[in-house]
Chain A
Amino acid sequence: MTIKAKPERKPLISLQNIQKHYGEYHALRGINLEIGEGEFFSLLGPSGCGKTTLLRTIAGFEDIDSGSVMLAGKDMMGVPANKRPTNMVFQSYAIFPHLTVAENVAFGLRKSPMSKAEKAEAAEAALNMVGLSGYGTRAAHALSGGQRQRVALARALVLKPKVLLLDEPLSALDRKMREQMQVELIKLQREVGITFILVTHDQEEALVMSDRIAVMFEGEIAQCDDPEVLYRCPKTKRVADFIGVMNFLPATCRNEGGKKIVNIVGLGETEITEEQCPEGFPEGAATVGFRPETLTILYDTQTPTHREAPAMIEEVVYYGDMTYYDVKFDGVDTPVRLSMRNLFGRDVLEVGTRARISWSPGALVVFG
């Protein structure tokens, strides 16, 4: 079943049943996916899941065993990478070390019918767009990591591709630079309005930047959704585990006259809705998942807005703005993690303290 582009977007890329082997290794197992015009789309997964292979398939660097790649209504079968309306930002940036910044940016314009002056102008405009105006005459090897990244972007965007492919573009940068570039990439994508496809193994990066995310495991797309849906309603336990932190507790489910009742070890019974069971309502043994931020420690004066359960604090991890607590509900052996904002005047609790924990039945996800 093909994952369709969102109804408000015109589909630009259509991948049909893509299969790819490296020798015995099955790298892509039947990818069916549509990506829309102007979409910021991310391929997210652990290393070896096939996300880079899929990106390189769209770019035209990989021959596939079977299936088809359609780009703007044209079959890309037999169209080599240098003839496709896609351009790529490489993980190593691949800035040509023997050329200046301007020569790098204008590299792809060699065959364009523009005059020399127009080419120089286009290159300067592209540099300006990525915040590097005036850097044209610099030697490429004298650039910092963040600057290389920008040159790589300018070099690809100057050709006005229909799709910009980004292969782990931020993985070589330090944390501060990475966060800054994330914001800049989002702005840039809005500005140029073309489709960006980003490959990343960093779930936070994907959540921050994307319109839609496809999570891949072992050559297959496990789930493709908006960041918010993906985070709140992961379809499988594996996706839930991969995106952010998810606590799991064992439970039993039963159907009581149309009501879906789940009995969670240590927390008791509650009713849940259809939407909370992405794999369908499992009768009998099940696992419930819930995010750390859906749990709250109740301080003395507070009354619970949802449900409440007593617990013991086992571990405290202080992060400055946040504190993570590992707590054990009474009668449960597995600790669960919860996060609290460190508001002014609120004490960080110590290990061994007993606490009342508030939890929301509506935030649970139930897996079979």
Chain B
Amino acid sequence: MKTLKTYAILYLVFLYAPIFLLPLFAFNTSTIIAFPLTGFTTEWFTALLDITEMHNALFNSFKIAVTSAVLATIFGIFGAMASTRYHFPGQKGIMGFIMLPLVLPEIIVAVSLLVVILKLGMSTGSWSVIAGHTLICTPFAIAILNSAFAALDPSLEEAAYDLGETRASTFRRVTLPLVMPGIVSALLISFTISMDEFIIAFFLTGADPTLPVYLFSMLRFPKLLPAVMALGTILVVLSILLITIAEIFRRRGAKRAGLKDTGGFL
């Protein structure tokens, strides 16, 4: 186990190495991303404030991510409730199909949506990115919410109903509060996925780029690279923050339901 532990720690270093490099060069004075480091500066961060196109892209991404996260979570609630509570004909096939985007290469999702949109004579835009992101976020939302709903004892809902509540007020007074941590977690995860997603946005974004698409276009200009590092630092810190909050909510939910924590989202 000792050798394994050393290996595991080395592996973690390998996993995190690229991310640790980000702030190193984001605060480095040199425009060339290479060792040795030349000095400390925050100018690349302040430079970000002047790029208005980036601000538009950020706002666009935020709008898309919020909408996709809400839609994916709503679809996720329906899907997770159906698959954990009920047995219906064709359940495996239907759920398998809904979860398919988890393994399907994103470029396939992107081009197939693009083809249909163009064929229908519509033009791409934020809405089509939202449509695509909702599709790929829904399986993640379902995976998270499945465990939230599975942890919920069905007799709790029956008890509320037996004590005089209606189906709707049972959902509001019992089901919702108990799966709320799962819902928050699903929202945050979906938001993060949408915020970071590149391929689908690249194909479907139309005239208003999302932040990753804009960032991709920045990569062609070497002089912008330090600014990319700065922006990347912000995005990575934000992602880690959101994911940590999501994890805290998921654990709280598991604890509330009196479950032993099994760890991990998937």
What residues of chain B lie closer than 8 Å to A59, measured between beta carbons? Answer: 162
Total CB contacts across the A-B interface at under 8 A = 61
> A159 in the interface, Cβ–Cβ < 8 Å?
yes
Residue contact A88 to B162, C-beta cutoff 8 Å? yes
> B17 in the interface, Cβ–Cβ < 8 Å?
no
Cβ-neighbour of A96 out of B162, B164, B166, B174 (below 8 A): B174
Residue contact B163 to A87, C-beta cutoff 8 Å? yes
Residue contact A82 to B258, C-beta cutoff 8 Å? no
Residue contact A107 to B160, C-beta cutoff 8 Å? yes
- Residues 158-200 of B, flagged 1 when their CB comes within 8 A of A and 0 if not, give 1111111110000001100110000000000000000000000
> A360 in the interface, Cβ–Cβ < 8 Å?
no
Residue contact A94 to B178, C-beta cutoff 8 Å? no
Whole-angstrom distance between the Cβ of B75 and the nearest chain A Cβ: 25
What residues of chain B lie closer than 8 Å to A82, measured between beta carbons? Answer: 161-166
Residue contact B158 to A96, C-beta cutoff 8 Å? no
Residue contact A90 to B155, C-beta cutoff 8 Å? yes
> A212 in the interface, Cβ–Cβ < 8 Å?
no
Residue contact A159 to B178, C-beta cutoff 8 Å? no
Residue contact A94 to B161, C-beta cutoff 8 Å? no
In the bound assembly, the distance between CA atoms of A107 and B158 in angstroms comes to 13
Cβ-neighbour of B163 out of A61, A91, A92, A107 (below 8 A): A107
Residue contact B158 to A94, C-beta cutoff 8 Å? yes
Residue contact A141 to B258, C-beta cutoff 8 Å? yes
Interface residues of A in 76-90 (CB under 8 A from B): 80-83, 86-88, 90
> A193 in the interface, Cβ–Cβ < 8 Å?
no
> B218 in the interface, Cβ–Cβ < 8 Å?
no
Residue contact A97 to B257, C-beta cutoff 8 Å? yes
Chain A, interface residues (CB within 8 Å), range: 20 to 34
> A280 in the interface, Cβ–Cβ < 8 Å?
no
> B156 in the interface, Cβ–Cβ < 8 Å?
yes
In the bound assembly, the distance between CA atoms of A98 and B157 in angstroms comes to 13
Residue contact B166 to A61, C-beta cutoff 8 Å? no
Residue contact A81 to B162, C-beta cutoff 8 Å? yes
Residue contact B256 to A98, C-beta cutoff 8 Å? yes
What residues of chain A lie closer than 8 Å to B161, measured between beta carbons? Answer: 80-82
What residues of chain A lie closer than 8 Å to B160, measured between beta carbons? Answer: 96, 107
> B153 in the interface, Cβ–Cβ < 8 Å?
yes
Residue contact B163 to A155, C-beta cutoff 8 Å? yes
In the bound assembly, the distance between CA atoms of A74 and B258 in angstroms comes to 40
Cβ-neighbour of B153 out of A86, A88, A94 (below 8 A): A94
Point out residues on B near A: beta carbons under 8 Å. Answer: 153, 155-156, 158-166, 173-174, 177-178, 256-258
* A88-B159, A98-B178, A110-B164 known, 7 other contacts, Cβ within 8 Å: A83-B164, A87-B162, A88-B162, A90-B155, A94-B156, A96-B178, A108-B165
10 interchain pairs, CB-CB under 8 A: A61-B158, A61-B162, A82-B163, A86-B162, A96-B160, A97-B256, A107-B160, A107-B173, A108-B164, A110-B165
Shortest Cβ-Cβ A-B pairs, 5 listed? A108-B163, A94-B159, A94-B155, A90-B155, A94-B156
